[in-house]
Structure 1
């Protein structure tokens, strides 16, 4: 088998099993079900998250964006316009718009659910006003290391569902970026970044699904479905690259540019802010971000 295809197929299988294992772990291991993240558990999650952030940053800057811009420039060299930057921006705004829509629906759902909660009658006695009111506040997790959107912290099955859909879309484009690679080292570099980050993503997603009181059968369906998203993206990318023609090459460059835009979004608007905005162990976090970036820099030597 061609080495490039071997890396893609190997990453497809690894992503499938890694996502299933990391996604099922919180549901079956009591240690992961702690409500209070403290001590050695907190430190481990902190360092893994920071290292993954550095991995993604290195993959984004040293390979994904540079290669996509180069490929688009070759395919559209007759166009006197920065088409590479434009297509990358389209990918960026595509994910941004989808996530804003998801968050808007989530917020509307929360406001409607709170409006439907009956309040004490105005004719109640004065003493009744001192009764304990139902707690309708939304509990927000303060764990800064879970790479899921803030609304995921709500104990709402509906909001967990739509955020699961949003993260699944991310996964398809991450897999697409791997499947569209045209050389061995490039595919390996992106595969490492996605594998490390995917484990953290699905681990955090699974914990929040449990906290949102998702039934076990639906939890399994969510995790299995989520585990298939990146392999689907890789498969699409492989199919596109196998059929070489001028049209296919142009489509490959455009798809790769869109996927690169999603990488930029995930790296700079999700992963890095969540790591750097937390006041806990800031210098240690920066160190592990740099270590992760260094790993990708060393791998880039093989390119």
Structure 2
């Protein structure tokens, strides 16, 4: 148990520092202060993103879902119903509901800000913190396909409110990703999921930071966003550790249920956010697929010892 706790604490610290480092790199490099990302940088980020998609897919299918279904089936074996699948679905629909609410609020806010005239999906508007800047939307070039599109399509807006909504939604995802690590009962399992989350979180916070810069977010708010977002996964890990340390019949059932819910979020993030953006991209599809397979293969090899 001590070894498992050490691994979880190590994952917590690694996630915290990696997220902080990746989040604060773009503000200190002028390379990211441009509205259009092209060339070598775009290719590198695309391939890393595809690799992370494969890592997440492997963790989802080979460990998270299978372990959650097994644990729920063991704890709730007296119920003649596929409770594992049901609880996993509840986690899936919970995140889906949050996403839809966020989209609805964001759309209404955008319409109000434009006096009732909705903007196209790639339109932009000046940030409230920079009222003196009023470039027309046509002057801000937004690439039709972004290597970080799995973060959220609403990120293309330069609205401060929508940046806040994006931040809140990603933070919810991060808590459940950390929860999936903290609830594990084997250190190899915790390490396997942590690898997937580490890679994915690094890309997510890096991309979030770049987009916030392009949205002309003030340095103070940018720092607040990054710091709070960096704490979300460690908070989830801490909750999972607390639940697993207090072993009892009720706590074990609660642990299995929470594990099922967090697995549902993994399914949502993997199949509705990450994979679609990688597979539907028109740029270098075979190369993207290759890196997805490489990421999945790594997780498959790690699963041998899980």
1:148-297 paired onto structure 2 within 5 Å: 148-297=151-300
Q: Which residue number in structure 2 is paired with residue 13 of structure 1?
A: 13
* TM-score normalised according to structure 2 size: 0.91
C-alpha distance after superposition, 1:217-244 (max 9, x if no partner): 0100010000000000000000000000
Contact 2:92 2:268 (C-alpha < 8 Å) held by counterparts: yes
Instruction: Give 1:208 shift.
Output: 1.2
C-alpha distance after superposition, 1:101-155 (max 9, x if no partner): 00111111111111179xxxxxxxxxxxxxxx98467975434211321011100
Q: Which residue number in structure 2 is paired with residue 126 of structure 1?
A: none
Q: Which residue number in structure 2 is paired with residue 87 of structure 1?
A: 87
Which runs of 5 or more structure 2 residues have no equivalent in the other structure? 118-133
Contact 1:140 1:154 (C-alpha < 8 Å) held by counterparts: no
Cα separation, partners in 2 of 1:72 and 1:175, compared to 1, 3 Å:
same
Secondary structure in structure 1 of the residue aligned to 2:230? helix
User: CA–CA distance in 2 between the matches of 1:173 and 1:134?
Assistant: 39
Q: Which residue number in structure 1 is paired with residue 146 of structure 2?
A: 144
1:89-104 paired onto structure 2 within 5 Å: 89-104=89-104
User: CA–CA distance in 2 between the matches of 1:11 and 1:29?
Assistant: 28
Secondary structure in structure 2 of the residue aligned to 1:94? helix
Instruction: Give 1:211 shift.
Output: 1.4
Instruction: Give 1:212 shift.
Output: 1.5
1:34-49 paired onto structure 2 within 5 Å: 34-49=34-49
Instruction: Give 1:22 shift.
Output: 0.5
Contact 2:36 2:141 (C-alpha < 8 Å) held by counterparts: no
User: CA–CA distance in 2 between the matches of 1:266 and 1:256?
Assistant: 15
Give yes or no for the alignment of 1:52 onto 2:55: no
User: CA–CA distance in 2 between the matches of 1:31 and 1:140?
Assistant: 16
Q: How many corresponding residue pairs?
A: 288
Secondary structure in structure 2 of the residue aligned to 1:37? coil
* TM-score normalised according to structure 1 size: 0.92
Secondary structure in structure 1 of the residue aligned to 2:247? coil
Secondary structure in structure 2 of the residue aligned to 1:115? coil
Contact 2:35 2:141 (C-alpha < 8 Å) held by counterparts: no
